Amino acid sequence: MALEPFNTSESLTFGVELELQLVSLSDFDLVPASPDMLELLGRAPFPGNVTPEITESMIEINSSVHTNYTELLAQLRQIRDTLLAAGDRLNVGVCGGGTHPFQLWAQRRIYAKPRFKEVSQLYGYLAKQFTVFGQHVHIGCRSGDEALYLLHALNRYVPHFIALSASSPFSQGFDTSFQSARLNSVFAFPLSGRAPFVLSWEAFAEDYFNRMAGTGIVRSMKDFYWDLRPKPEYGTIELRVCDTPLSVERAAALACYLQALCRYLLAGSEPPPLEDDYLVYNYNRFQACRFGLDGTLVHPQTHEQLSLREDIMTTLRRLEPHAQALGSTAALDALYRESHVGSDATFLRQAFEAEGSREAIVDAALRRFRAGEPG
């Protein structure tokens, strides 16, 4: 099966996908409510798109395609309010967070959709363990070559997004000591990790994808669980490393950070990516997952040891002209402030320490999703 042509998109347009938790308001565990939620939401126009996810305690929402922060944030808030209203009717809570703190994967139900059943049959228990929740961001590209250039040029910044979005410190009832434990579930899949270092779309399609398809292992780009992957049907690249934040405000800010970074990279502001950049990729990614903003990364080309928090703040300031041109200065300013305060993972640990119960973690996540990001 040949790879479809790369559809041209307007450069730097963007959209967001958020995987969200459906929670019982009596015991704060996950509840298999997505069939009822989707049926209710299908009765009226939805401000974007809402779809099932692999288990029935999850739903995924998709924004429309946008060009600026104001429009994206307004739509995400409208989506949030629509979901909350539906949840209130069903007595079901809706929240972000990369993992539920104490749900047990064996109790999950696979959603009745052919692809999900196929994935479950192939991957066994990993499919139910994939009840984790991420934010994906799409960036429009003018060509497949531009998409591959951005995909590899962004490798140096992947730890930024892991650290800034980290919201999964708890899993299966325990503190994992990670800021983002969600990605450990993703890494278990054999086609996770990173894309091969190819900068030509023609070479990617013919020399890599067609050969992989010939093995019978893959049929489309959906079969790859890479941190960054091209989406030819949309004309985008897709960043997949972020935990779902606790608020739509932070989700919008992260999308704007990626948009500004792509504008900066397309301006030729940094040396082109090299295959050897990936020598430190897994180490840097681990540091961001384990320690979040307090982690250390190795610059892929200079091999300088850098504080992840300081590298993020320096980059945010470097991007100020691009943020101003894109209308997202407020979004990047919010991330700069949050880099000092800490991630959502820190917020969830504080909720646990204050109340001493696992249920308090979920309650804090529910309240943050409903109230939004504080001033």
pLDDT digits (tens, 9 = 90+) for 177-196: 999 999 999 988 889 999 99
How large is the average pLDDT for residues 171-181? 96
Residue 35: closest CA among 60, 62, 57, 63: 57
Inform me whether the pLDDT recorded for 363 exceeds 80: yes
Residue 254: closest CA among 150, 373, 171: 373
Inform me whether the pLDDT recorded for 257 exceeds 70: yes
Which pLDDT belongs to residue 106?
Answer: 87
Q: Alpha-carbon dihedral of residues 207, 126, 31, 63, nearest 10 degrees? A: -10
Inform me whether the pLDDT recorded for 374 exceeds 80: no
- Cβ 231 vs Cβ 237: under 8 Å: yes
Inform me whether the pLDDT recorded for 95 exceeds 90: yes
Pairing of strands 228-231, 49-52: unpaired
CA distance readout (Å), 225 to 151, 154, 228, 371: 14, 17, 8, 32
Cα 334 from chain centre: 18
Alpha helices in 112-220 (DSSP H): 114-123, 125-129, 144-153, 158-165, 182-187, 201-203, 210-214
Which pLDDT belongs to residue 346?
Answer: 97
Which tens digit of pLDDT belongs to each residue from 218-238? 988 989 999 999 999 999 999
E-state strands within the chain: 14-24, 49-52, 58-62, 92-95, 134-140, 170-171, 174-175, 192-193, 225-226, 228-231, 236-243, 296-298, 305-307
Q: What percent of the chain has pLDDT over 90?
A: 86
Contacts of 140 (CB under 8 A, 6+ apart): 9, 10, 11, 12, 13, 14, 65, 234, 235, 236
Which tens digit of pLDDT belongs to each residue from 45-80? 999 999 999 899 999 999 999 999 999 999 999 999
Quick one: pLDDT band at residue 375, thresholds 50, 70, 90?
low
Name the more confident of 125 and 296: 296
Which pLDDT belongs to residue 373?
Answer: 79
- Cα-Cα end-to-end distance for the chain: 50
Which pLDDT belongs to residue 372?
Answer: 87
Quick one: pLDDT band at residue 1, thresholds 50, 70, 90?
low
